[in-house]
Amino acid sequence: MAPGSPAQTRNDVVSQFTTFRPKLFAIAHRTLGSAWSADDAVQEVWIRLQRTDIAAIDNLEAWLTAVISRVCIDMIRHQVSRREELGRDASTEPAVADKDDDPSEIAMLSDDLALALQVVLDGLGPLERLALVLHDVFALSFDDIAPIVERTPAAARKLASRARSRLRTVDVGAVRERHEAAIVAFLDAARNGDFGKLLQLLDPEIELRSDTAAVHLAAEGADHGAPLLASGIRGADAVARVFAGRAELTRLVLCNGVPAAAYVSGGAAHAVYLVTFESDRIAQLDVFADTAQLAVLDTVL
């Protein structure tokens, strides 16, 4: 096959997409707050790429960043519409002062930003989320962000400043301490089979979701104390039964900058538990063991 042929070009794009996939997932995960939704967003970008004339794409990374951003915007707006919530359009909110010495212009530490985002995510508009994530996490200039959020560079800067100001109202240190303590208490209660304590730590409407690889991994280790995972389980009582007397090799970790848990063996994480809190109770557990998924989750043991 001659170099530069359409098929060869498409093969190159497929390879590049695989290279950029972790970045796309990270943008979506930080913006949407859900690994499942982030994976859906990345898949949607892949579908759109397949329908696009790749010869017309000058800068694939920039194109992919713009598309994942727009997909995230659409998903957030769809979620808001589905919940029938009335939100403010970021373009109609009062602008913050645009001063070089304004604390809201100073980027937060990555881990602090990730945890603060998790706490106030629903209070931020989709454009505010994206402007902040693209600038503070991925270091895009506001000139590059402007066409993505369909604003001027100055307006894009204000979107990020407004979001950053909201995040700075979060006492990140206190939140991190409470969440880490709750995860440790949850794992201790699981290992000790303390059903009553598990119920105290879980939100009554908690949802436990596990990918196929996690379900298979847990089934293989069920006789050795692995949790009794299934693809979807809802309710504190049902989830407590999954973990009571189990999770011996699961421990506290950081994942994408926020407290999480992981099944660790041989110095590696074989399954990651992403934890979502509601009023300091565990409201959602998302378990991933698929190797491709683990590769894009920044897990620190």
pLDDT at 99: 42
Give the model's confidence band at 103: pLDDT under 50 very low, under 70 low, under 90 confident, else very high.
low
3 state SS of 10? helix
The yes-or-no verdict on residue 73 having pLDDT over 60 is: yes
* Residue 3, pLDDT above cutoff 90: no
pLDDT 10s digits, 216-268:
999 999 999 999 999 999 999 999 999 999 999 999 999 989 999 999 999 99
pLDDT in the model for residue 107: 74
Per-residue model confidence (pLDDT) at position 104:
59
Q: β-strands 281-288, 202-210: how paired?
A: parallel
Q: Taking all residues of the chain, what is their mean pLDDT, rounded to a whole number?
A: 89
271: pLDDT strictly greater than 50: yes
Per residue in 125-179, pLDDT (tens digit) is 999 999 999 999 999 999 999 999 999 999 999 999 999 999 999 999 999 999 9
Strands 268-278, 299-300: pairing kind: unpaired
Fold of 172-300: Nuclear Transport Factor 2; Chain: A, (3.10.450)
Q: What is the pLDDT of residue 254?
A: 96
Q: Are 77 and 126 in contact (CB under 8 A)?
A: yes
Cα distances (Å, whole numbers) of residue 285 to 90, 146, 202, 278:
31, 35, 10, 12
Model pLDDT, residue 22: 93
- Per the structure block, which two tokens stand in for 187? 């794992």
Q: What is the pLDDT of residues 107-122, one digit of tens each?
A: 788 889 999 999 999 8
pLDDT at 14 over 80: yes
Backbone angles phi, psi at 207, to 5 degrees: -120, 130
* Domain 172-300 in the same topology as domain 6-167: no
CA angle 99-101-104, nearest 5°? 75
Would you say domain 6-167 falls under CATH 1.20.140.160?
Answer: yes
* Domain layout of the chain by residue ranges: 6-167, 172-300
